Structure 1
């Protein structure tokens, strides 16, 4: 199964470090970041989980729920959390899914459906494609997919930046330009005609080209 932006995120039931969940029910009316790991006790993932725990208040402020997944049993996650706390200063303060039967990794296309067995005996290299970030909206549709190699730590500050853009553009008919950050100018969406734009933006806009119509970021 190959998931794409705009697809409904597959629903599932799973055991997590904070109890059993049904994914869509757990998301509720919030946004969600689901990020996956190929194995517990791996070095790059240890740094990622600690950093995500540290900046969780930034996600909370944006009404974004965080949930991790690792291809190991939940009991292993609890032991790993102590290492993360010791080495990174913060232990995971969000649920971590146990995917020891690999069912969710397969459901999300991170491992081939043809893979047999469970996580026992599999190495991180066997699961190296389980290194995804999915941003999911309140409508349960996938808004962003990032895939990282095992050797490159993920940039969760960038995920926050993208969420700011996604939330802004879900509310207003605008797009955000390269390297955009909260509070900077935005671009009127191509779906908005000039006549409509004159109503929405009576003060006008800057247009270095007719198709690039720049306005200040709309207020909430």
Structure 2
């Protein structure tokens, strides 16, 4: 029996480390991890970017799994390659699932004032995270949010907020936490809900997410 190839796309600023707690069968699946590339320019279109990234997929009819902005990316990739299944986690299926804050930011362009230096120079700013809880969060951010190029961050924020997709893919499974603070569950339709899952649940709810992925793909193969 040939293995199913699964390609994983992390969320904005994140590396493949966010998937380290997933427990998927080695006998059934071969896992591949995509990473963020620098945009060619700040004006590179999302279509151009995802087309370039699609060229890194070397297997036919793969499963694509994306988290947050990575979920948007894998949906866009289906415009260039044929896939067996798309699974998004802590993400959105169309512009209509964005919270009103995103819509306001997109129209007002206020996001252009975001100080990306806080992320790009995180090692400098992290010393101001005082207290055990904040120190723990700082360590998590340092480990998992490893993609910090200033042009990449500006490009990503611009393209998340201005994603205009209206059509929902037919072969998509959406996994979403009921406590997601970025994309509130009240705006999300037709998702498999994870109780008390927040936007970072790919790390802390990995066991539940693994089971949902395997159940989804097992059903798909019947």
TM-score higher than 0.5:
no
Larger Rg: 1
Q: So what's the TM-score if we normalise by structure 2?
A: 0.28
Higher RCO (CA-CA < 8 Å; seq separation 6+): 2
The structure where strand makes up a greater share of residues is 1
